[in-house]
Amino acid sequence: MNIFIAGFQHETNTFAPSKADWAAFQLGESFPPYREGPEVIEAYGGQNIPIGGFIDSARERGWGLIASAWAGATPSAHVTEDAFERIAGVIARDLSQAYAQGSVDAVFLDLHGAAVGEHLEDLEGELLGRLRAIVGHAVPIVATLDLHANVSRRMLDEADALVAYRTYPHVDSADTGRLAAELLARRIARGVRESLQVRRLAFLLPLNVQCTMVEPAASVYQLLRDLDAQHGTVLSFATGFPAADIAECGPVVWGYGDAADVAVQALFARIDSPRAQWRLDVLPPREAVAAALTIAEGADRPVVIADTQDNPGAGSDSNTTGMLRALLAERAGERHPGRVALGLLFDPAAAAAAHAAGLGARIEISLGTEVATWAGQRSDPPVQGVFTVRALSDGDLLLKGPMSWGSVVSVGPSACLEIDGVLVAVASGKSQMLDRELFRFVGIEPESMKLLVAKSSVHFRADFAPIASRILVAKAAGPMAADPADLPWTRLPATMALRP
């Protein structure tokens, strides 16, 4: 068995301010950088990403691997036509050459499932279609998807099998790659595609309620596993990425196996009723800080606040100041000097100024950026003030948390800046605060803080929940709408409800 492998990862927020160009995929930032050929196998085997799990499983099964390209970029607005065509072009070229030589028995793709291009709505469906046209229907194609995939009918039709993550935070990325290898083995053993059943939900799910560490998602995904064990199926529930203005945005349930119809219907019924179980609970910025300070007084572990609407893992630029202003307005740093921290805040100019001034210097700067959000709204203006440089870093670090262990990220020249007792982790590159190392690399020890603000929606919970006395979610002005009903949709079907 020789398996052709490749990857393309992008989560597109069509309402976000910045696009993903070719340079974004080359850099990767919070994703591994672009790679081609054998280097993909050498770099990603053993990592907690889908292709890593697939590589490990393939080696255990004795399968040979033919690696093409792997590309990922931090979530943002649309993927540029140039970037997609470069990546898709390399993968299609490599597959054509390998298939012509008779050395391809199957194809595995590490996909996200919510990529939208400048020129095409369904980039994963397009990529699958182009590869299917090369190998025909005799060669199986399987792919992994993110839990937030907006799964299109074309994706399901072109692939022999698709399987999505079952955790959010995504601690099971490598496990999902292994599950894809199992689906491929089942497909090869049968000689034909397994029976597929699909049900699409009629409402959008806010990102924050999709977390599988809390209810109702925790019980839903446990039911998914139980149904698989009972019926011998492989089910998936993609909760959807609710900031993509496309016709097929939204949650989808699907499954493979002889009893897929029974299992899919049972899972769909549990998700669909009662819809009120999926309602959102968030706080305004100053309310969240005030509540956190009250809790912190009697707590021996930090209170963590999610700055969910400036989450760079969902298309924002991680540069708004609403939560920083709330911390200063509530005098959080004065009440707990040096024990209140926020990060990561993307501001290359501020990081450069800190490096130029040096450790211990006091610099007068404007920190953060005022950005357009949606429907003509804007985020808070930058914070003007005198900041003390508490730490400096080149921005290269190894992640050690449960979600991205073993991954190296590069966020460029970075610094810890202090203002009125509040510590701000400032970086020249964008990365969601999903790992405690993203505070530690600029000298902030998360465990010793009283209050932490994480620019993230849910992924932070994997590494921060174990040290948190309480977790709150705040709705400061930013490009990633916590409530999908806030967005100016134009392409959703009239039958799709904006709230559960």
In tens, the pLDDT along 233-274 reads 999 999 999 999 999 999 999 999 999 999 999 999 999 999
> Are both 253 and 359 inside the same structural domain?
no
Going by C-alpha positions, the residue among 385, 376, 372, 281 that lies closest to residue 327 is 385
Same domain, 245 and 348: no
233, 349: one domain: no
Q: Are residues 124 and 268 in the same domain?
A: yes
* Residue 495 forms part of a structural domain: no
d(CA 407, CA 386): 35
Q: In this structure, is residue 225 part of a structural domain?
A: yes
CB distance 92 to 109 below 8 Å: no
Query: pLDDT grade, residue 31 (50/70/90)?
Result: confident
Q: Is the peptide bond before 302 cis (omega within 30 degrees of 0)?
A: no
Over range 182-193, report the average pLDDT.
Answer: 96
Residues 304, 454: contact at Cβ < 8 Å?
Answer: yes
Residue 498 domain-assigned (yes or no): no
The whole-number average pLDDT for the span 432-447 is 97
d(CA 212, CA 193): 30
- The distance in angstroms from the start CA to the end CA of the chain is 45
Q: Name the nearest CA neighbour of 399 among 440, 367, 360, 359.
A: 440
Shared domain check, 299 and 183: no
Domain count, the chain: 2
Q: Burial of 229 by CB count in 10 Å (0-12 exposed, 13-18 middle, 19+ buried)?
A: exposed
Q: Please report which confidence band the pLDDT of residue 109 belongs to, taking 50, 70 and 90 as the band edges.
A: very high
499 within some domain: no
**By the 8 A CB rule, do 174 and 156 touch?**
no
> Distance (Å, rounded) from C-alpha 125 to C-alpha 155?
4
The verdict on 436 and 390 lying in the same domain is yes
**Model confidence at 375: pLDDT above 90:** no
Please give the Cα distance from 452 to 440 (Å, whole number).
13
CB contact at 8 A, 48 and 406: yes
Averaged pLDDT of the chain:
96
Query: Could you please report the per-residue DSSP string of 266-315?
Result: HHHHHHHS-GGGG----B-HHHHHHHHHHHHHT-SS-EEEEEGGG-GGGT
Helices 260-272 and 217-231, interaxial angle, to 10°? Answer: 170
pLDDT for 481: 93
**Domain annotation covers residue 337:** yes
Count of beta carbons in the 10 Å neighbourhood of residue 137? 11
Structure confidence at residue 187 as a pLDDT band (50, 70, 90) = very high
**What average pLDDT does range 358-374 have in this prediction?**
95
Looking at the structure, tell me whether residues 333 and 406 fall in a common domain: yes
Residue 487 lies in a domain: no
pLDDT band at 28 (very low <50, low <70, confident <90, very high): confident
Percent pLDDT > 90 in the chain is 93
Same domain, yes or no: 69 and 120 = yes
| Burial annotation 1-17 (CB, 10 A radius, 16+ → b, else e) | eebbbbbbbbbbbbbbb
- Beta strands 234-238 and 196-200 are unpaired
Q: What is the pLDDT of residues 463-500, one digit of tens each?
A: 999 999 999 999 999 989 999 999 999 999 999 999 99
Q: How confident is the model at residue 30 (pLDDT cuts 50, 70, 90)?
A: confident
pLDDT of residue 407: 83
| Residue 328, domain extent | 285-482
Closest CA to 135 of 224, 44, 66: 66
Report the C-alpha gap between 353 and 414 in whole angstroms. Answer: 10
Do 73 and 148 have their domain in common? yes
Copy the structure tokens of residue 174: 């490598």
**Is residue 307 located within the same domain as residue 425?**
yes
- Reported as a single tens digit per residue, the pLDDT across 270-326 is 999 999 999 998 999 999 999 999 999 999 999 999 999 999 989 899 999 999 999
Q: Provide mean pLDDT across the span 86-95.
A: 98
Q: Note whether residue 496 is domain-resident.
A: no
Token pair belonging to 96:
């054509």
User: What number is the average pLDDT over the span 82-94?
Assistant: 98
User: E-assigned strands of 351-450?
Assistant: 362-367, 383-393, 396-398, 408-410, 414-419, 422-427
pLDDT at 408: 85
Query: Are residues 327 and 195 part of one domain?
Result: no
Average pLDDT over residues 342-355: 98
Look at strands 106-111 and 2-9 and give their pairing.
parallel
Coil, helix or strand for 455? coil
Stretch 16-39: mean pLDDT, rounded? 91
Give the separation between CA 218 and CA 220, rounded to whole angstroms: 6
Q: How many angstroms separate the CA atoms of 186 and 169, rounded?
A: 28
**458 and 366 belong to one structural domain:** yes
State the pairing for strand pair 64-72/2-9: parallel
pLDDT in tens, 122-180: 999 999 999 999 999 999 999 999 999 999 999 999 999 999 999 999 999 999 999 99
Residue 379 pLDDT grade (very low, low, confident, very high; cuts 50, 70, 90): very high
Give me the sign of the Cα torsion angle 404, 405, 409, 411.
Answer: positive
Q: Is the dihedral of CA 72, 73, 75, 81 positive or negative?
A: negative
Query: What is the C-alpha to C-alpha distance for residues 285 and 324, in angstroms, rounded to an integer?
Result: 9
61-86 pLDDT, tens digit each: 999 999 999 999 999 999 999 999 99
Please report whether residue 262 resides in a domain. yes
Average pLDDT of span 362-386:
93
